[in-house]
Amino acid sequence: MAGMQGRILRQDFLGGLAVIGVAALAYWLARKLPASAAGGMGPGALPKGLAVLLGGLGILLLLNAFKSERLARWSVRGPLFVLGALMLFGVTVRPLGLALAGPILIAAAGFASSEVRWRETLVYGLAMTAFCVGLFKFALGLPIPLAPWLLGY
Amino acid sequence: MELLSNLALGFATALSPMNLFLGFVGCLVGTLIGVLPGVGPIATIAMLMPLTLKVDPTGALIMLAGIYYGAQYGGSTTAILVNMPGEVTAVVTAIDGHEMAKRGSAGRALGIAALGSFFAGSVATLIIAAIGAPLTRLALLFGPAEYFGLMVFGLGLAIVLARGSVLKALIMVVLGLLLSTVGTDLETGQERLTLGIPELSDGVDFAVLAMGVFGIAEILRNLENPESRNVAIAQIGRLLPSREDLRRCFGPIVRATGIGSVLGILPGNGAVLGPFASYALEKKLAKDPSRFGRGAIEGVAGPESANNAGAQTSFIPLLTLGIPPNAVMALMVGAMTIHGLIPGPQVMTKHPALFWGMIASMWIGNLLLLVINLPLIGLWVRLLKVPYRLMFTTILLFCAIGIYSINNNPYDVYFTAFFGLAGYLFIKLGLEPAPMLLGFVLGRLMEEKLRQALALSEGSLMTFVERPVAAALLAIAAAVMLVAVLPAVSRSRQKAFQE
Amino acid sequence: MRRTIAVLVLSAFSSIAAAQAYPSRPVTIIVPFAAGGPTDIIARISGEYFSKTLGQQFVVENVAGAGGTTGITRGAQAKPDGYTIMMGHMGTHGAAPALYANLKYDPTKDFTPIGLVAGTPILIVARKDFPAANLKDFVARVKDPAAKVKQAHAGVGSVSFTTCTLLTSQLGAKSIVAAYRGTGPALNDLVGGQVDYMCDQIVNLVEQVRGGAIKAYAIATPERSPALPDVPTTKEAGLPDYQVSAWNALFAPKGIPQDVATKLNATLVAALDDANTRKRLLELGSVIPDKAGRSPQALQKLVESEVARWNPILKAYAQQ
């Protein structure tokens, strides 16, 4: 049983599977596009061709799997909060403006690291957002919403 | 000597107090936005265009130009410090540059980037002055078929670029090519691979991809390994490159200047190939190629020089023909037009003060940038000592704002998060992002040129053989790919024999 | 009863107050293309006049994508308070319904038309060595299948695409078509002689024609352009049916307060009479609409007629 797990957890085994998966997805998405059209290649030629090529390479990778390194530890906390913070920013920046989206991002991202100290992060988040507002909004004049709920822009 | 009298006119124009001031402002702003991830010269020039209406056209253009090549200097700063290329062209710098920073050599990396860029910028400016006009005619000979040959050659480079296994590099290149097909088909207008998401109908944005796969993934990697991160940063080495470094990098810088200058003239953003080409060349020429990818200073000097040379020479088609070779130059066209100065073949003769003034100001600008950037190195290096728990949230915020500002579209931020996840997966699976980015950049251009070539030849593949330049480039490309793949194949054969 | 009257009076006052106060903060003009292009420049030139006269910044926000439809979709869905307006053009409000099957707006119904700003005439240009001395010879060659004439355009949905498709469909000819990503690369290959002809806005081509890098056969407007006085009109040169100009106009989302709409239109009309604005628009080669053409009703009529005109010609390219 341990031997079996050892096999699956090899880098290239999962890598090969992932690559084949992506190739299959790409081919499926491009399935309706014609590969040839009047005067040469059609819109589907390159996507389908590349998908097939990628799938082939993925199979090669799979064959190589058993000699490759073991998979390193994965963590959930870091990716979850960093990426989550980014998504939150995207959702909040237009309705709530930079004034709120900034601190929200910094607070959410703070959860990603176990080293983070709360009061420090709060103060820092507000200060950094103020700095960014000054830099991006006033110095550079980017049309990023500041606080639509308060100022209207 | 006509050239000398023209240059005299140019310097007289560029050194007027107003133009000097505007050039300085442009370079400073350019450096700043180059450092900021996401926000780039395009957004900034567009933003500052209305302000330039208050000054005369020459001054306005000098300032806007300063922003553009200033951003090349600044973009390498974040690429080296935090693996987040502030500018598209700084992606290659990040490979070895960030490795150097992790080993405590951030100062040397930043220094050689600035010095190499200055050398390249100065030489490129000279090229523009002396042979700018005839060079454009050369660029015009480059039709779709020739361009396609160049792109295939570029693909061969991608394999050389890789640190590890050739198979994995190939996979990443093909993945990049596949990603580049996402969007609207050029000829028929049909949507491809867009999953029905309208925000993808113009394809994936390079900055979004690079930011996610390099920068965000790096943050995730650092959060996982706090120990390895702190040790290296604790030892800050020299602040500037040593004499030994300069000696080593002289060759790469000169070669890169040549490569970057030539590629910058080609329309359709050929300049973006420059850093990749330089890196691959230096890696092939080095006595110990395994140093590349682990902090080889030549891997910073070459690409940085190439991208600055390309940035300067990309002005040539604009100034001599009035045809912008990339999106930033298209903005310059807009800026000139708003001032009532529509760019075209006659700009050189109708407005000599503008033409030569701009060229002179480019050299002055490069000097200013060196003066601005070198002292800042101490500041940047000290910034690395900020505790990571504060740094990473800051980087994330800057990244989010910068990415949002590209198109004022929150979907770009979502996609960056997605690519961040992808980048993290790549790290875990041992796949390198750099070849994928090259594949992505080449893919669009390659497909466009291939289909144009085939459309114009009515589907005949013979067009690649009949046209001499295209045939030559394809032959070289094939040779490069063979040379890259053969050692790997023979190595595995040897292993098989040994077993 | 008294309460109702009070409410009615108050709301009347507040809407008057709102109209007097408009604009009380910066206004966004959405330009659905990248900065630096013809539509963007026209928006900035007119925006400058608006900022000066109305006392608040009229800021251009570029939201490029999908032939301009991304930006217009955003504009159509914006809050109808007059603080977000947009610059639409022949592509976004004329050709788009025929080109994009999933278009999220209806140009004839989802907008408050403010007024036409300027039109950019279309030029028929060819590489400088093309073997035709005038428009008649050019047409003859294009119609001749054995001549294998090559056309370039800047991408499906671009002005150069729609206008050249109109030309070939009027002539009943089929050219070899090469698609490019933007005007720059297309023009580059035209100058380089890799393709034979193109149809595009005058502002993109004027200096190349003047410098001799390419040659112009005709301009598709009723009168010659002062920017290129030697180029005959299509009427003079024998193709009177080919009349097309890339018009640009200001729109607001449907349902903005009437007084705001009136104010915007009045400012636009004044802008088009302002000497400085006129000079800069004319330098681009644009055509400024006459008094009759500046009303919102004229714009609405134009939009409806354009949508009808482009529909049959472009249906073949509708996205699945």
Sorted by where each starts, the structural domains of chain C and their CATH numbers stand as 2-120+247-318 (3.40.190.150), 122-237 (3.40.190.10)
Per DSSP, the three-state class of A72 is coil
How many angstroms separate the CA atoms of C149 and C175, rounded?
6
pLDDT at C74: 87
What's the confidence (pLDDT) of residue B236? 56
- Which stretches of chain C are assigned E, i.e. beta strand? 27-31, 58-62, 84-89, 111-127, 150-153, 176-179, 197-201, 214-219, 245-253
Query: How many angstroms from the chain centroid is the CA of residue C274?
Result: 21
- Give the DSSP letter string of B454-479: HHHTTT-TTHHHHSHHHHHHHHHHHH
Whether the predicted pLDDT of B168 surpasses 90? no
Q: CA-to-CA distance for B74 and B30, rounded, in angstroms?
A: 7
Name the residue among C271, C297, C259 with its Cα closest to residue C43: C271
Instruction: Answer for the pair A152, C25: CB distance below 8 angstroms, yes or no.
Output: yes
List of residues 6+ apart from B272 with CB closer than 8 A = B88, B89, B310, B441
Question: Pairing relation of β-strands C111-127 and C197-201?
Answer: antiparallel
Number of residues that make up chain C: 320
The conformation of residue C56, written as its DSSP 8-state character, comes to S
The mean pLDDT of C90-112, rounded to a whole number, is: 89
Q: What is the pLDDT of residue C12?
A: 58
Cα A97 → chain centroid: 23
Q: Which tokens sit at B153?
A: 């050659």
Of residues B325, B342, B444, nearest to C207 (C-beta): B342
pLDDT higher than 70, residue A8: no
In this prediction, residue B493 carries a pLDDT of 56
Q: How far apart are CA B332 and CA B68, in angstroms?
A: 10
Higher-scoring residue by pLDDT: C257, B139: C257
Q: Single out the residue of B86, B84, B61 nearest to residue B71, CA to CA.
A: B86
Alpha helices in B226-297 (DSSP H): 226-234, 243-265, 273-285
Q: Under an 8 A CB cutoff, do C176 and A39 touch? A: yes
CA distance B416 to B316: 34
Sole residue written with tokens 């699956």: A8
Strand, coil or helix: A41 = strand
Q: Residue B169 — pLDDT band, cuts 50, 70, 90?
A: confident
Contact flag A115-B389 (C-beta cutoff 8 Å) = yes
pTM higher than 0.95, yes or no? no
B185 close contact with A: CB closer than 8 A = yes
Beta-carbon contacts of B374 under 8 Å, excluding residues fewer than 6 positions away, are: B111, B114, B240
Distance from CA of C83 to the nearest CA of A (A): 10
Contacts of A153 in chain C (CB under 8 A): 25-26, 83
> What distance in Å separates residue C197's CA from the closest CA in chain B?
12
pLDDT tens digits, residue range B3-50? 888 888 888 888 889 899 999 989 988 888 888 877 778 778 877 777
Q: Which residue of B has its CA nearest to C189?
A: B143
Q: Which pairing describes strands C58-62 and C27-31: parallel, antiparallel, or unpaired?
A: parallel
Cα gap A64→A81, rounded to integer Å: 34
Distance from C-alpha of B442 to C-alpha of B436, rounded to nearest angstrom: 10
CB-hemisphere CA count at 13 Å for B52?
32
CB atoms A85 and B33 under 8 Å: no
In chain B, how many domains are there? 1
Helix axes B273-285, B433-456, angle to 10 degrees: 120
What is the Cα–Cα distance from B185 to B194, expressed in whole angstroms?
11
Distance from C-alpha of B375 to C-alpha of B239, rounded to nearest angstrom: 10
Q: Mean of the per-residue pLDDT values for chain B?
A: 84
What is the predicted pLDDT for the residue at C319? 47
Give residue C247's pLDDT: 93
Tens of pLDDT, residue by residue over B219-255, are 898 888 776 665 555 555 677 888 888 888 999 999 9
Nearest to A83 among B417, B431, B455 (CB): B417
Pairing type for strands B191-192 and C27-31 reads unpaired
**Is the CB of residue B128 less than 8 Å from the CB of residue B316?**
yes
Beta-carbon contacts of B214 under 8 Å, excluding residues fewer than 6 positions away, are B83, B84, B85, B91, B94, B423, B433
When mean pLDDT is compared across A89-93, B274-278, C16-20, C68-72, the lowest value belongs to C16-20
What's the pLDDT score for residue B499? Answer: 45
Provide the 8-state DSSP code for C92. I
Reported as a pLDDT band with limits 50, 70 and 90, residue B415 is very high
Nearest beta carbon to residue B192 from set A33, A71, A83: A33
Q: Give the lowest-confidence range in B224-228, B245-249, B309-313, C175-179.
A: B224-228
User: Which element (helix H / strand E) includes B184?
Assistant: strand B183-184
Query: Could you tell me if B264 and B270 are in contact, meaning their C-beta atoms sit under 8 angstroms apart?
Result: yes
Mean pLDDT of the residues in chain C? 87
Domain around B201: 2-498
Partner A contacted by B383 (CB < 8 A) = no
The Cα–Cα gap between C288 and C290 comes to: 6
The number of C-alpha atoms within 13 Å of C89 and in the hemisphere containing its C-beta is: 30
Q: Helix or strand or coil: residue C196?
A: coil
Q: Is the ipTM of this complex over 0.90?
A: no
C233/C217 Cα distance (integer angstroms)? 9
Q: Backbone phi, then psi, for B108, in 5-degree steps?
A: -60, -40
* Confidence at B383, pLDDT banded by 50, 70, 90: confident
Residues of A in contact with C25 (CB under 8 A): 151-153
Residue A72: CB atoms within 10 A of its CB come to 14
Measured CA to CA, the distance from residue A47 to residue A55 in angstroms comes to 12
What local confidence, expressed as pLDDT, does residue A40 receive?
A: 66
Q: From CA B453, how far away is CA B450, in angstroms rounded?
A: 5
CB–CB contact C188 B45 (8 Å): no
- B260 vs B246: CA distance, rounded Å: 20
Q: Compute the count of residue pairs across chains A and B with CB atoms less than 8 Å apart.
A: 194
Bridge partner list, C198: C125
Instruction: Name the pLDDT band for B350 (thresholds 50, 70, 90).
Output: confident
Q: Is the pLDDT of residue C255 over 80?
A: yes
Q: Where are the alpha helices (DSSP H) in C104-213?
A: 135-143, 159-171, 183-191, 202-210
Angle at B38 (CA atoms; ends B33, B39), nearest 5 degrees: 40
CA-to-CA separations, C122 to C183, C221, C281, in angstroms, rounded: 14, 8, 15
Q: Closest to C44 (Cβ–Cβ): which among B187, B199, B338?
A: B338
The Cα–Cα gap between B158 and B75 comes to: 22
b/e burial code for range B219-256 (CB count within 10 A of at least 16 → b): bbbbbbeeeeeeebbeebeeebbeeebbebbeebbbbb
Q: What percent of chain C has pLDDT over 70?
A: 92
The whole-angstrom distance between residue C159's C-alpha and the CA centroid of its chain comes to: 8
Among the partner-chain residues A32, A39, A143, the one whose CB lies closest to the CB of C61 is A143
Helix (H, G, I), strand (E, B) or coil at C227: coil
Handedness of CA C30, C247, C69, B270 (dihedral sign): negative
The whole-angstrom distance between B258's CA and the closest CA on chain C is 23
Distance between first and last Cα of chain C: 57
Range of weakest confidence among A97-106, B80-89, B258-267, C192-201: B80-89
pLDDT, mean of residues B278-297: 86
**Token output for B395:** 């980087």
Chain C nearest-CA residue for B267: C185
Rounded to a whole number of angstroms, the distance from the CA of B343 to the nearest CA of chain C is: 6
Please name the member of C187, C189, C317 whose beta carbon is closest to the beta carbon of B143.
Answer: C189
Q: Answer whether the bond into residue B41 is a cis peptide, omega within 30°.
A: no
Distance from CA of A26 to the nearest CA of C (A): 18
For an interface test with B, which of C73, C195, C207, C310 has the most B Cβ atoms less than 10 Å from its Cβ?
Answer: C207
Which one of A26, A47, A142 has the shortest CB-CB distance to B43?
A: A142
Contacts of A among chains (3+ CB pairs under 8 A): B, C
pLDDT tens, residue by residue, C258-315: 999 999 999 999 999 999 999 988 888 889 998 888 999 999 999 999 999 998 888 8
Scored b (16 or more CB within 10 A) or e, C209-233 reads: bbbebbbbbbbbbeebbebbeebeb
Rounded to whole angstroms, how far apart are CA atoms C158 and C96?
10
Residues 18-57 of A with CB under 8 A from B: 18-19, 22, 26, 29-30, 33, 37, 39-44, 46-47, 50-51, 53-54, 57
- The span from the CA of C173 to the CA of C170, in Å, is 8
Question: How far apart are alpha carbons A19 and A25 in whole angstroms?
Answer: 10
Report the alpha-carbon distance of residue C219 to residue C216 in Å, rounded: 8
Q: What is the Rg, in whole angstroms, of the alpha carbon atoms belonging to chain B? A: 22
Chain C residues whose CB is inside 8 A of the B332 CB are 36
A148 close to B (CB below 8 A): no
Sequence-distant (≥ 6) Cβ neighbours of residue C104 within 8 angstroms: B198, C69, C73, C76
Inter-axis angle of helices B17-35 and B2-14, to 10 degrees? 80
Q: How far apart are CA C313 and CA C304, in angstroms?
A: 15
Residue that the structure tokens 């100009």 belong to: C245
| pLDDT for residue A36 is more than 80 | no
Ramachandran class of C199: left when φ > 0, alpha when ψ lies in -120 to 50, beta otherwise: beta
Main-chain phi, psi angles of C61, to 5 degrees: -120, 120
**Subunits close to C (at least 3 CB pairs below 8 A):** A, B
Beta-carbon contacts of residue B379 (< 8 Å; ≥ 6 apart): none
Q: List CB contacts (< 8 A) between B411 and chain A.
A: 90
